[in-house]
Amino acid sequence: MNLLDAMRYLVALEQQRHFGRAASACHITQPALSNAIRALETELGVAIVRRGRSYEGLTAEGERVLASANRLLHEQELLRQDLHSSQAAPCGSLSIGAVPTTIPVAARFAARLQARHSGIKPIVRSLSSHEIESGLANLSLDIGLGYTDRGGKFTALPQYVEQYFLLRRAAAGAAVGVGPALQLGAALSWRDAAALPLCLLTPEMHNRSIVDAAFRAAGCEVMPAMQTNSIVSSVLSVLDGEVCTVLPGALMALARGHPGLEARPLREPDVRTPIGFMVATGTRHSRALAAALALATDAAWLRDADRHGKPSSA
């Protein structure tokens, strides 16, 4: 049994939460992945995976093995990057977790980083705030982009301030164009927005808690007409349905190319949420992570990040 391979398969299984998808991610067959994990269980003398008709998660012992697997693979990647790259020419993988509302900015950041250092291979994953915080803590993520006001034992690098907009179909002649097919309308109060049929993100998403708090501060409660855990679905619901949605400015880029949409800034209250990169405190940085942190504090990038956080960048 190859211990490193088995550990890698276990990490993939927990990330994908499905044997077939984990095998595909590791470029092996599902029986090969299952056999490797069973061999690891035999080697360690404990059950690692709770098995039913499908993947049901890890046992308590499996969680401990997973923590060791993440540390082992992290150290392996640090060593590989130390041996095969330099500070001036970093090489290796970089795992980036981003909350869904920041994905357009995270993707631009990864592309900019890869263009600056062609040896770095970024991996951008859309994750919840809790998943990012857990990933940073257990070393399965190198860096996260999300809400820096949640606390936690992380070092934060501020990037931009999230502002909120109502995305709706535009009234003819009532807006000023700010990009391909996207128009910027007049400011709207949260109370007035509450009276509209809304498609909102589902309650377990941190962004929804921010939106709900804004509606409460405006003295109203909202019963959304639709709910979804997909940012893309919320935009499509505006395009093809009779609803509006509330999104941060960074996501207005998703409206590009769709005629007749309008973004209206939401006021009273004026909600501004800090967004930043986060890294685990006290851990040794890989060459790729050091390069990412240098870009994250670069003045030119920060100007772009601030612009990307507004609908005018769409």
Asked if residue 22 lies in contact with residue 15, where contact means CB atoms within 8 angstroms, the answer is yes
| pLDDT tens for each residue of 128-173 | 999 999 999 999 999 999 999 887 789 999 999 999 999 998 775 5
| 14 Cβ neighbours under 8 A, 6+ residues apart | 58, 66
Averaged pLDDT for residues 234-255: 87
**pLDDT at res. 312:** 53
CA 187 to chain centre: 28
For 79, other C-beta atoms within 10 Å of its C-beta total 11
Per-residue burial over 151-181, b if 16 or more Cβ lie within 10 Å, else e, is eeebebbebbbbbbbbbbbbeeeebeebbee
Q: Which CATH class is domain 1-84?
A: mainly alpha
1-84 and 161-271 share one fold: no
Prediction pTM value: 0.83
DSSP structural state of residue 244? E
Averaged pLDDT for residues 35-51: 93
Q: What are the residue boundaries of the structural domains of the chain, listed by start?
A: 1-84, 161-271
**pLDDT at res. 180:** 52
| 217 Cβ neighbours under 8 A, 6+ residues apart | 190, 269
Would you identify the CATH topology of the domain 161-271?
D-Maltodextrin-Binding Protein; domain 2 (3.40.190)
Asked if residue 84 lies in contact with residue 92, where contact means CB atoms within 8 angstroms, the answer is yes
